[in-house]
């Protein structure tokens, strides 16, 4: 049994897509799997609600006690190159240009919400830096890591989440994460700063295809993802 705490919200009343995807991926990887993992969200992840696990050889499923599938995780693969490294000057420029400072549909979002304090949310504020890219610094707060001082899979996946949404101009068309394929090569460490980059690949109707990456300031790739975001109507989402 597992419960998604309200701290880890994306929209006000449902789970952060990257964090929940990372939670399901962690359960899949914990059963002896490795490599890129694809997580799919089937419904808005409920908060503060006991959920159950199901496992088979092909996937791990996060379920409501009524039998609805919240999300799945299984083997994945990447189809594009990771976004390029952004240097310190570039991530600083992205932070200053963050559209969410003026327009944000989910300002309480665990990853990118401007209303979240240090140690409560990740505060990754990704702004445009030219072309199809966004960038931002991420300082890993000690309150959000495991006992060994490193970020767990849900936190790392959450950090890889919203920079992709902002690459698709999240403020212009609200959207939620549908699918995320990710791999973390080196767990982020408390007290260190990483460079987050998002990149828009293409749009197909209501779907936006994006990629993200986390690098050390020296340019080492820490983790990467590919995502599919789905445009939503705020008036009807979750109803």
Q: Is 152 helix (H, G, I), strand (E, B) or coil?
A: coil
To which H or E segment does residue 224 belong?
Answer: strand 221-231
pLDDT given at position 239: 54
Q: Is 93 helix (H, G, I), strand (E, B) or coil?
A: helix
Q: How many CB atoms lie within 10 A of CB 136?
A: 30
Digitized pLDDT (tens) for each residue of the chain, 239 residues in all? 899 999 999 999 999 999 999 999 999 999 999 999 999 999 999 999 999 999 999 999 999 999 999 999 999 999 999 999 999 999 999 999 999 999 999 999 999 999 999 999 999 999 999 999 999 999 999 999 999 999 999 999 999 999 999 999 888 889 999 999 999 999 999 999 999 999 999 999 999 999 999 999 999 999 999 999 999 887 777 65
How long is the chain? 239
pLDDT given at position 238: 61
* 50 is a domain residue: yes
Query: Taking Cα atoms as reference points, which of 81, 110, 75 lies closest to residue 181?
Result: 75
* 239 is a domain residue: no
Question: Are the beta carbons of 57 and 51 closer than 8 angstroms?
Answer: no
Q: How many domains does the chain have?
A: 1
* 216 is a domain residue: yes
pLDDT given at position 235: 75
For the domain that residue 34 is a member of, what is the CATH number?
2.40.160.210
* 238 is a domain residue: no
pLDDT given at position 214: 99
Domain encompassing residue 94: 2-231
pLDDT in tens, 73-90: 999 999 999 999 999 999
pLDDT given at position 38: 99
Query: Taking Cα atoms as reference points, which of 6, 3, 7, 4 lies closest to residue 144?
Result: 7
Structure tokens given for 58? 């092909």
* 194 is a domain residue: yes
* 237 is a domain residue: no
* 46 is a domain residue: yes
């Amino acid at each position: 049994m597992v419960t998604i705490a309200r701290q880890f919200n994306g929209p006000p009343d449902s789970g952060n897509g990257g964090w929940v995807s990372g939670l399901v991926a962690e359960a899949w990887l914990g059963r002896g799997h490795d490599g890129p993992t694809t997580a799919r969200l089937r419904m808005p992840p409920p908060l503060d609600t006991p959920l159950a696990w199901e496992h088979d050889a092909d996937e791990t499923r996060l379920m409501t006690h009524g039998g609805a599938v919240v999300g799945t995780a299984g083997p994945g693969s990447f189809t594009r190159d990771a976004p390029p490294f952004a240097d310190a000057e570039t991530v600083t420029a992205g932070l200053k240009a963050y559209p969410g400072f003026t327009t944000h549909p989910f300002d309480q979002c665990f990853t990118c919400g401007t209303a979240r304090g240090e140690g409560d949310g990740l505060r990754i504020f990704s702004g445009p830096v030219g072309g199809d890219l966004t960038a931002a610094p991420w300082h890993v707060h000690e309150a959000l890591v495991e006992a060994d001082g490193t970020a767990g899979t849900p936190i790392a996946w959450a950090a890889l989440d919203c920079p992709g949404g902002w690459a698709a101009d999240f403020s212009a068309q609200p959207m939620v994460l549908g699918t995320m394929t990710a791999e973390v090569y080196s767990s982020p460490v408390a007290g260190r700063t990483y460079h987050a980059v998002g990149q828009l690949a293409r749009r197909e109707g209501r779907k936006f295809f994006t990629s993200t990456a986390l690098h050390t300031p020296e340019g080492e790739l820490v983790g990467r993802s590919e995502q599919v975001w789905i445009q939503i109507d705020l008036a009807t989402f979750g109803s």
